[in-house]
Amino acid sequence: MSTTSIANTNDETLREVIEATGRYRYHIKYEGVKISHMLHVLVAQHQLGASDNRLREIADILGEKLEPAHTKDPSHEPITHDTWQTLMGKQIRFIELAEFFDKELDDRFNGDKKALLVEYLPQLIDGMSAIATHGIIHLGYALRSPSKQSIADALALMVFSYKTLGHMNANKHQIIEDNESSIDPYIGCNELVQLLKFVQKDAVDLALRVTEESGGKSLYGYFSRHMSVLHSHPEMQEKLQTYARRITTIERVRDNQLMDLSHALSVACLLAYDGTISEPDNFFLLHGVTSSWALREVLRYLKDEINPTLLRSILYAHVLTILAVYIIEDMPDITLRNGQMPLFNIHSDDNNNSDLPNWSDIIKLAIASDDDHLPKLVFSCYDDEEHYGVPIPNIYRLTSARKVGLLEWN
């Protein structure tokens, strides 16, 4: 690997800042439809090596636009193991939900975060498309947080925001057996890119209907309203599911290749974000990139706890989410800037990066940025290179350099 850990080694300051700016200080939502990025940005900046003072400064800057935490209504009955599901998708009682998961973690699971996630994640993962994918993003960053409150907050957000595009299971008769020839999971990257190109042509009527029913794109909060249309129409969901079945690798790779497939699908998301040349730096395709990183973070954390059947369903949920985001964003043209899919596991001695800005310059600009999303994009790319190696061409460094302004988008 060409990258090494550069994180700020002082977790205590990060924990203090996260808890000081958390559920009891600021509400999870602001300006009606937006979700607080406080946890995401603090963790990403810390992982990039931001100083303690910089973390405090970022918290002050982000806090200026957030809303005070909502007070709890003492007339409400406590949330219990038997009642929490009644709150799914209602976007109420966030603090009480977080406190419920605190109690579950401490009392029922004796502080075992994996056991908590194994219990609840299968019931919530189909809702990853809600609120611009922020639930799964929050959970991914929570796993890098030194505060145990972060896990409870993430699960609370997934309950708070839950909306589904439907549940998909793999067709068991199509899953290959151990004695059959396997396929390369990285074929999934090409499959998803090609699927988006197909959907661009095939889903025109669907996209127009979504826009018409939501009131158009000129109104504030259009993305949430567009996604709500998809969430409320089973026939639209069935259309998306038909598209998702075209990712045949979800059913054709072996069980032990599913984690590589999750990475391959995330690379396709990065290629889609980087390759919308006529409309560069698409805000919501960017969420597709960060949610892909977050999902893989969760899957890596639980890799020995998730059965392959569930994992295949999770990958379908991921594909459904990406398709929905792409359709809502008017299905922009996607171009492979370098004319080829990135290749992994190539021993190149990093020669393909000699003409690119180096990571130290990219990261310096990311740490200095007050933008919510820029450091998250750079961190996800840097972290992926650390885990998966240097691809040819290096889509991670190229996209990060464009995002921080060291290279042009066009």
pLDDT digit string, tens, across residues 339-387: 778 887 655 555 556 689 999 999 999 999 999 999 999 999 999 999 9
Residue 341 lies in a domain: no
The predicted pLDDT at position 283 comes to 85
The predicted pLDDT at position 406 comes to 96
Q: What are phi and psi of 88, to 5 degrees?
A: -60, 120
Confidence band, pLDDT 50/70/90 cuts, at residue 179: low
Mean pLDDT over 10-14 rounds to 94
CA pair distance 210, 215, nearest whole angstrom: 9
Whether 121 and 23 map to the same domain: the answer is yes
The first and second tokens of residue 28, run together, are 């999870």
User: What percentage of the chain's residues is helix, strand, coil (to nearest 5)?
Assistant: 60, 0, 40
- What share of the chain in percent tops pLDDT 70? 93
The predicted pLDDT at position 5 comes to 67
Whether 205 and 317 map to the same domain: the answer is yes
Residue 33 lies in a domain: yes
CA pair distance 63, 38, nearest whole angstrom: 8
- 394-to-90, 354, 384 alpha-carbon distances in Å: 42, 11, 11
Number of domains the chain contains: 3
Whether 137 and 54 map to the same domain: the answer is yes
Whether 307 and 249 map to the same domain: the answer is yes
Mention every residue, 6+ apart, whose C-beta is less than 8 A from residue 147: 15, 18, 19, 22
Residue 340 lies in a domain: no
The whole model's pTM is what? 0.93
CA pair distance 106, 148, nearest whole angstrom: 10
- 190-to-98, 196, 246, 285, 342 alpha-carbon distances in Å: 39, 10, 11, 17, 10
pLDDT at 125 over 90: yes
pLDDT digit string, tens, across residues 310-322: 999 999 999 999 9
pLDDT digit string, tens, across residues 219-255: 667 888 999 999 999 999 999 999 999 999 999 999 9
Residue 374 lies in a domain: yes
- Give the CB-side neighbour count of residue 149, counting CA atoms within 13 A: 17
Whether 25 and 111 map to the same domain: the answer is yes
Whether 28 and 151 map to the same domain: the answer is yes
CA pair distance 122, 128, nearest whole angstrom: 11
CA pair distance 284, 264, nearest whole angstrom: 20
Q: Final residue of a domain: which of 293, 328, 363?
A: 328
The predicted pLDDT at position 1 comes to 39
CA pair distance 126, 132, nearest whole angstrom: 13
Residue 105 lies in a domain: yes
Mention every residue, 6+ apart, whose C-beta is less than 8 A from residue 9: none
* Domain boundaries, position 233: 172-328
Confidence band, pLDDT 50/70/90 cuts, at residue 279: confident
Whether 67 and 109 map to the same domain: the answer is yes
Residue 370 lies in a domain: yes
Whether 292 and 367 map to the same domain: the answer is no
Whether 317 and 188 map to the same domain: the answer is yes
Residue 100 lies in a domain: yes
CA pair distance 119, 109, nearest whole angstrom: 10
Confidence band, pLDDT 50/70/90 cuts, at residue 2: very low
Confidence band, pLDDT 50/70/90 cuts, at residue 178: low
Q: Final residue of a domain: which of 161, 180, 202?
A: 161
The predicted pLDDT at position 345 comes to 63
Amino acid identity, position 389: G
Residue 133 lies in a domain: yes
pLDDT at 177 over 80: no
Whether 105 and 226 map to the same domain: the answer is no
Q: Final residue of a domain: which of 161, 195, 225?
A: 161
Higher pLDDT, 282 or 199: 199
Whether 296 and 367 map to the same domain: the answer is no
CB 147 within 8 A of CB 22: yes
pLDDT digit string, tens, across residues 18-60: 999 999 999 999 998 899 999 999 999 999 999 999 999 999 9
Q: What is the mean pLDDT of the chain?
A: 92
Whether 287 and 371 map to the same domain: the answer is no
